[in-house]
Amino acid sequence: MEKIKQIWRSLIWSYDPKDKIEATKATSKNFWLHWFPARTTYKSMSITYSFWLGTVLFSLFIILTITGVILMFLYIPSTERAYWTIKDLENSVSFGWFLRNAHRWAAHLMVTAVFLHMARVFFTGAYKNGGNPEANRPLNWIVGVILLILTLALSYTGYLLPWDQLALWAIVIGANIAKSVPPENIVGESLYFFLAGGTQIDQNTLIRFYVLHCIFLPILLLVLSSYHMWRIRKDGGLAVSEQYKIEAKKQNKRLIQDEYTTFTIPFLFRRVFMIFLVTTAIVLFFSVFAKAPLEEPADPSWTPNPAKAPWYFLWIQELITITTVKIGDFTINGGFLGGALIPALLFLLWAVWPYLDKSPDEATGVWFHKSRIVHNIIFAIILIILIAVTIFAMYFRGPYWQVYWPWRWPEIPHMF
Amino acid sequence: MDRRKFIAYLGRTAVVLTFLGQGFAYFRSLIPNTLYEPPKKFKLGYPKDYPEGITFVAKYRIFLVREGKSFWVISAICQHLGCTVNIVPPKTEVVKIKGEEFRQKWEFFCPCHGSAYYGDGTFYGGPAPKSLPWYKLDIGPDGQLVVDTNTEVDHKFRLVVEDLGG
């Protein structure tokens, strides 16, 4: 028994701390934990500062990877069989419904959590270096924007795979947005041909999006999110930690490590694990009580009326509808303007925002700091517009994408 | 440039070209050379099988219109972002298209973003950037209708069939 314990220890817990120095080494000498810092500041563990959304996202990614890999064994990426393998998940595979629900709910929660995470970072001014010459938080913010786009790309490629009506028409519209990039007969059509793997949406398209969803995008996400977390350490922890230095400088005091930091193990590690458990519990709760929808099998000859995108793309669908510009014979397709150019410019503006923010160091890692009031108001207005457009598209757009009062609409709108 | 520098330069170039070449090969392999798609030119059956008025041919996503002995084909693919448009009752019976009066029995509406087209496929509302194309329609040696979706024709096109076939 002692021998087994020894082997176990040598494999996973290589150090048993007996004093402060050893406790510090407990983190760095353990392969699984060495990406944690040895000590953590108290402020960065505050729930109301970060809401632990980054940890929530990491937890969701783990859940998505596990359920996703199992789903890969049960799914066949063929236009003839894909739909029926999903039906089998619902009707024949033991706990197939649960796997699908968990994967889907974790995905929806991930999109939500990425948005909230970025909103939190923005409102707390956490993309600022706060006078720390070694930090490069604006870079990590840009990585974050790319991670947001990757998350959306994963969701998009994911909901195509069941090859139901939602999937087919989402992919038709997505591929045609690519086709509308001017000059259409050179760039647009080549993009479409490359994305779809032909001149129409078919088997080639499904297998492309399948590989993107299962291999290409997750690996890219894993690499970038690892870099994202590594950068947090290189930047000196969460931005709120800069507050200790700023306050000490103001009061002309020396910082004493024991007063503002504590050991990562067990204090940070325990909290990370608890957040993982809470996230898992939320996903399980939704998975058990809310069923993932599946529309009719894909049928290119008729389009559901209205054909609505999932909630996180509704603002783009609304933009696509209203942005076709016609001046005489000159026309710009709304697919390009509202579906590609405006979202791309919004993301670009979002990505470079830290470089436009010239607020003082004190505003680093503080919720709604008064020196950043203009930034926060502009950001809040953009958020409110996006949310308002989403609600409008969700409840006030009926058949043929016409404006309806929600209570006049005969069918219940698809929310997701 | 001396000999050592030249060889070092050659070596670096070789490394870069090796990887660029591989990258190109990987990328190019993903652009298909052979497509197993249905042909763009296909038979629609005998003219007599189609009733007066408009018929949606679901398999090919086109509308076949018949007026007595005249036939023509309108695409059912929305020119905005590729959804299938639906036939709906007209909002107004007589509309003006390019200055000419046009009497219409139906219109086309798109479920995705609400593009609207007159009965002959001319766009008039919503985000569509252009009108629904008309395709060349012909009669084959066996008397069947043949559509060629590679060739667009204008809105004056009519295929007049004397022998309705069968």
Give CA A169 to chain center in angstroms. Answer: 23
Percent of chain B clearing pLDDT 70 (strictly above): 98
Cα angle value A295/A204/A167 (rounded, 5°): 15
**Cβ contacts (< 8 Å) between B58 and chain A: which residues?**
301-302
d(CA A383, CA B117): 35
* Cα–Cα distance measured from residue B113 to residue B126, given in angstroms and rounded to the nearest whole number: 7
Given CB atoms, is B90 within the 8 Å cutoff of chain A? no
Q: Which residues contact A199 (CB under 8 A, 6 or more apart)?
A: A192, A193, B35, B37
Q: Which residues contact A351 (CB under 8 A, 6 or more apart)?
A: A141, A142, A145, A146
User: What is the pLDDT averaged over residues A190-216?
Assistant: 94
- Checking if the pLDDT of B64 tops 50, the result is yes
Kindly report the number of other CB atoms within 10 A of residue A236's CB atom. Answer: 18
Out of A26-35, A98-107, A130-139, B90-99, which region has the weakest mean confidence (pLDDT)?
A26-35
Mean pLDDT of B44-52: 90
pLDDT value of position A14: 55
- A400/B32 Cβ within 8 A: no
Out of B37, B82, B114, closest to residue A173 by CB: B82
pLDDT, tens only, A361-389: 999 999 999 999 999 999 999 999 999 99
Provide the mean pLDDT of chain A. 90
How far is Cα A275 from Cα A279, in angstroms, rounded to an integer? 6
Flag whether residue A202 sits within 8 Å of chain B, measured between CB atoms. Answer: yes
Q: Which fold has domain A46-251+261-296+335-379?
A: Cytochrome Bc1 Complex; Chain C (1.20.810)
Residue A13 has what pLDDT?
59
Q: Does B136 touch chain A (CB under 8 A)?
A: no
What H or E segment, with its residue span, contains residue B146?
strand B145-153
Look at A33-37, A226-230, B33-37 and tell me which has the smallest mean pLDDT. A33-37
Q: Could you identify the residue written with the tokens 């509302």? A: B125
Strands in A30-76 per DSSP E? 39-41
Is A338 in contact with A322 (CB distance < 8 Å)? Answer: yes
| CB atoms A202 and B37 under 8 Å | yes
| DSSP 8-state secondary structure symbol assigned to residue A409 | -
Distance CA A10, CA A130 (A): 41
Of A12-21, A53-62, A65-74, A251-260, least confident by mean pLDDT is A12-21
Evaluate if residue A415 carries a pLDDT over 80. no
Helix, strand, or coil here: A32? coil
Output the CA angle B116-B119-B124, nearest 5 degrees: 35
Residues of A in contact with B112 (CB under 8 A): 169, 173, 303, 306-307, 317, 401
- Beta strands per DSSP E along A181-340: 261-263, 325-327, 330-332
CB contact under 8 A, B112 and A197: no
What's A341's DSSP letter? I
Q: What is the ipTM of this complex?
A: 0.88
Nearest CA in chain B to A178: B81
Domain spans of chain A, in order of start: 46-251+261-296+335-379
pLDDT band at A12 (very low <50, low <70, confident <90, very high): low
The 10s digit of each residue's pLDDT in A251-264 is 998 888 888 998 88
Which of the two residues, A85 and A259, has the higher pLDDT score? A85
Residue A412 has pLDDT above 70, yes or no: no
pTM comes to: 0.91
With H, G, I as helix, E, B as strand and everything else as coil, classify residue B101: strand
Mean pLDDT for B71-88 is: 92
Residue A294 in this model has a pLDDT that exceeds 50: yes
Output the pLDDT for position A124.
Answer: 96
In chain B, which residues have their Cβ closer than 8 Å to the Cβ of A332?
129
Helices (H), A357-409: 373-395
- Is the predicted pLDDT of residue B50 greater than 80, yes or no? yes
Neighbour tally for B43: CB within 10 Å: 12
What mean pLDDT is predicted for residues B48-63? 91
- Backbone phi, then psi, for A403, in 5-degree steps? -80, 125
Helix H or strand E segment including B116:
strand B116-117
Report residue B148's pLDDT band, with 50, 70 and 90 as the boundaries.
very high
Least confidently predicted of A7-21, A240-254, A276-290, B100-114: A7-21
Mean predicted confidence (pLDDT) in A128-155: 95
Please give the average per-residue pLDDT across A156-167, as a whole number: 93
Please, where are the H alpha helices in A212-341?
A: 217-234, 242-251, 257-260, 269-289, 314-322, 334-336
- Is A169 at the interface with chain B, CB within 8 A? yes
Pairwise CA distance, residues B90 & B93, whole Å: 6
Cβ partners under 8 Å of residue A336, min gap 6: A177, A180, A181, A182, A188
Mean pLDDT calculated for residue range A81-101:
95
At A303, the amino acid letter reads T
So what's the pLDDT on residue A323? 84
Asked whether residue A82 carries a pLDDT value surpassing 90, the answer given is: yes
pLDDT of residue A416: 41
* Length of chain A measured in residues: 416
Look up residue A87 and give its two tokens: 């039906």
